[in-house]
Chains A and B, each alone.
Chain A
Amino acid sequence: MIAPPESGTIYIVDDDLSFLKSISRFLRASGYRVQTFESAEEFIQQLAPEMSGCVLSDLQMPGLNGLELQAALAKSANPLPVVFISAQLDIPKTVQAMRGGAEDFITKHSSKEELLDAVRRALERGAQERNERERVKKIRARVERLSGRELEVLEQVVRGGMNKQISANLGIALRTVKLHRTNLTRKLQVQSTPELTRLAEELGLFTHDKSP
């Protein structure tokens, strides 16, 4: 039973070396890419933006524990999804983990199906989030290429201004407004004004009211 290789790597963090070895062996045999870390600190140290996949972490560890690892990861530039794998079910800690955005919470003797399901879901979510992040990043890069005047026009458009109003507000010719709008849609690779509005919303552009 070879699972279809999901995109990304499973980063396993556990201080129990014997368990670390066995679970990585099993996941590797199941067709996953695996990387092991003996402590949360070691993992955080090696965390890089290009790393993709999910984290499978023990909850109780000396030094940084699983929950702290999760918190540190969430603040980082690469917030990989986390699956906790604990020696025992600890309800308060489970609640805390799930609130912190944990993908799943399984025990060390959960069945392999549970384990594989959790891992698969985490990898999928990881991949999705990664794709989303990359898409947003690309759009952001495009927005960054806009000129100052183009940004001003974009803001007026997003706020629902008609060309005439924009022309009046910005004090520029109607023809110039139309030219900027054409450039905007070309540079941001959008087809329509609603699309332009959604993009700006997605990026969180113009949330601060600059104009009266």
Chain B
Amino acid sequence: MQQAFQMELEKLSTAKIDFFEEQLDTGHFTDKEHFKIFTDYLGKKYTQKDLDLIMVFPSGNYALAGALPDALFPEVPVVFAAVNDLEVPYDIGKLGVTGIIQRNDVRGTLGLILRLQPETHEVVVIGGKSEMDGKSLSRVIKTAQGLEEVQFKFWTNQPMAELLTTVKLLLPGTAILLSSFHRDASGEPYSTAQVAQMLAPLASVPIYVMNGMAVGSGAVGGVVADSQALGERSGQLAFKVMGGIKPESAPMEVETKGTPMVDWRALQHWHISDNRIPSNCLVRYRPNTLWGMHRNLIVFILAIFVMQTATIVGLLAQRRRRHEAEREVLAQRMELAHVTRVSTLGQLTAMLAHELGHPLGAILRNTEAAEIFLKKEPPELEEIRTILEDIRKDDQRASRVIDRLRSLLKRRSLELKTLDLGELLYEAVTLTKPDARAREVNLILSLPPKLPPVYGDRIHLQQVLLNLIINGMEAMAEVEKSGRQLTISAEIKNNGQVEVGVSDCGQGIPPDKLKQLFQPFFTTKPGGMGMGLAICKTIIDAHGGTIGGENNVPHGAVFKFTLPPQPSNL
């Protein structure tokens, strides 16, 4: 209660408050001599202190507790919080004093008894012999008179020793209500909680109490003062008084409704089902379940788990969207690859003229020759036969060219297969040889004796090679004829990757342009679209390889790309 009071006051006040706490055992030391000791001691202790408020939580001898502040600091306002109107140490309306009184909730407690044990037909009320006990009991008696379904017995004249025996003999259908008990019939002093603790293990029926302090001593429970709420309310009242309101003008508050509170262990002992517990009831001493002990942690972990799951789901969705977008980009790039491939082939005019023009020209001349041989008398059939043979060969040669062109012109997606890299490079050189000849470029294919197979798409890799070769040849247009040399090489790197290089002897790449080489729409050629190298990069990326361009020593540029030897995870 004190703690709740202090916290509430600190919460309300903006200024820093110093709290001094004095625990006076006025219950045991009731004589005048002790009262003098207390006043001397406290008077000296706080003589230098300018107190704003005295807060009294009376217990034991209430009269004494109430008299102390009056004797010590008559000018300082007093607020009290008492758990029984019978315990109020002041007359109501006394100057400089106000407070909160919590009355025993007899009616509520009896209601709780019937709620938890509906079969109860008799309540034994046990009370002490002190003056206060008597006042308290009289209130119980007054309330009991209004209840007809239950019979009441009042045990107030038994000494403790007797009580300890008689509580064992009560029959089922009976409940014990422990009223205030500060002194037994033999005059021995006790506290109510102490009595509950003594009787509970022995009693043959459940014991109920009206004092919050007694919950936990073995009693089933009762409707008691909620010390937390009482503390908070007294804090609020103290704040008002400290703020300047005269205590006598702040009305004393009287609270008759308590809070139901039960001891879970006692409920188990008496086999009282949990579903009888009222919803507003505080259940104390329930062994902590994992949930109870670590509720926040569990909630926190669950929340993290949920968030994690949500995040994972989100990331998966994002990943899928990204993959879809990437696929789409790749598809578009492949489409563009097709377009640029077509335009690349368009650049290979000499190749087309040579590869198709020659066989077609040869066929034409052969048929003309055959006509002449046919007209001879007699026709030179042997000559015609060899001519036809040659025509067939040239036709096949032209067909192969067309097939190869068609495969290069076909719109297609990536088809990865194991490829012979040497063959691929040789094919690229064959395709570009006529152009190299037309541009008077010396094409050199430099391969190691043995190349591992690579995993890739023949047409797309062919496109990369054609692009790099044509670029290289174009870069040497201004170079002296004897210096126009383009080298296509392959090399096996230490990590097993194969590196293909296309190096020219041209002007090289301006150093400031090196980084942009593979960006779309970047071009150094007057009529260039700037897609060639960007497409090359897309294709090589799709193969899980890398591509780069740099300047060669002593002159020219070299473009290198790598291909992984094993099927990549594509």
Contacts and interface: CB of A to CB of B under 8 A. Distances in A.
Interface stretch (A19-27, A155-163, A168-176): A19-27
A87 B434 CA distance: 11
Interface in B433-454: 434, 437-438, 440
A18 B393 contact: yes
Contact of A1 (B349, B365, B372): B372
A185 interface: no
B358 A108 contact: yes
Interface in A99-119: 107-109, 112
A9 interface: no
**Which among B349, B363, B365, B372 has the greatest number of chain A C-beta atoms within 10 A?**
B365
Contact of A112 (B353, B359, B368, B387): B368
A65 B481 CA distance: 12
A108 B353 CA distance: 10
B359 A18 contact: yes
Nearest to A2: B372
Contact of A25 (B359, B387, B397, B437): B387
Interface residues of A, number: 22
B354 A60 contact: yes
Interface string A12-32: 000010110111011011100
A86 B350 CA distance: 11
A21 B350 contact: no
A22 B362 contact: yes
Nearest to A90: B438
Contact of A29 (B349, B358, B372): B372
B440 A88 contact: no
A61 interface: yes
B362 A60 contact: no
A62 interface: yes
A30 B353 CA distance: 26
B375 interface: yes
A26 B366 contact: yes
Given A25-B387, A26-B368, A108 B363 contact: no
Contact of A60 (B350, B366, B383, B393): B350
Contacts of B353: 87-88
Nearest to A61: B437
Interface residues of B, number: 29
Contacts, number: 81
Contacts of A88: 349-350, 353, 357
Interface string B129-173: 000000000000000000000000000000000000000000000
Given A62-B437, A88-B349, A22 B360 contact: no
B373 interface: yes
B384 to A, nearest CB: 10
Given A65-B440, A87-B353, A88-B350, A26 B369 contact: yes
A25 B365 contact: yes
A87 B368 CA distance: 18
Given A21-B362, A60-B437, A61-B437, A26 B357 contact: no
Nearest to B372: A29
A25 B350 contact: no
Interface in B370-409: 372-373, 375, 383, 387, 390, 393-394, 397
Interface string B342-360: 0000000110011001111
**Which among A16, A22, A26 has the greatest number of chain B C-beta atoms within 10 A?**
A22
B372 A30 contact: yes
**Which among B349, B362, B383, B394 has the greatest number of chain A C-beta atoms within 10 A?**
B362
A87 B387 contact: no
Contacts of A112: 364-365, 368
A4 B75 CA distance: 153
B361 interface: yes
Contact of B358 (A16, A61, A62): A16
A201 to B, nearest CB: 41
A65 B484 CA distance: 15
Contacts of B354: 16, 60, 87
Contacts of B359: 18-19
A22 B369 CA distance: 8
Contacts of A65: 440
A62 B354 CA distance: 13
Nearest to A20: B362
A118 to B, nearest CB: 14
Given A1-B375, A29-B369, A30-B372, 9 more contacts: A19-B365, A25-B366, A29-B373, A60-B437, A87-B350, A87-B357, A107-B361, A108-B361, A109-B364
Contacts of A18: 358-359, 362, 390, 393-394, 397
B374 to A, nearest CB: 10
A65 to B, nearest CB: 7
Nearest to A62: B437
A160 to B, nearest CB: 51
Nearest to B357: A87
Contacts of B373: 29
Contacts of A19: 358-359, 361-362, 365
Contact of A21 (B383, B390, B434, B440): B390
A46 B356 CA distance: 31
14 contacts: A1-B375, A16-B354, A16-B358, A18-B393, A19-B359, A19-B362, A19-B365, A21-B390, A22-B364, A26-B368, A60-B350, A108-B358, A108-B361, A109-B357
A108 B361 CA distance: 5
A28 to B, nearest CB: 8
Contacts of B364: 22, 108-109, 112
Contacts of A62: 437
A112 B372 CA distance: 12
Nearest to A21: B390
A139 to B, nearest CB: 42
A112 B361 CA distance: 11
Nearest to B364: A109
Contacts of B390: 18, 21-22
A108 B368 contact: no
A174 B368 CA distance: 70
A60 B365 contact: no
Given A60-B354, A61-B437, A109-B357, A22 B365 contact: yes
Contacts of B434: 60
A107 B361 CA distance: 9
Contacts of A26: 365-366, 368-369, 372
A108 B372 contact: no
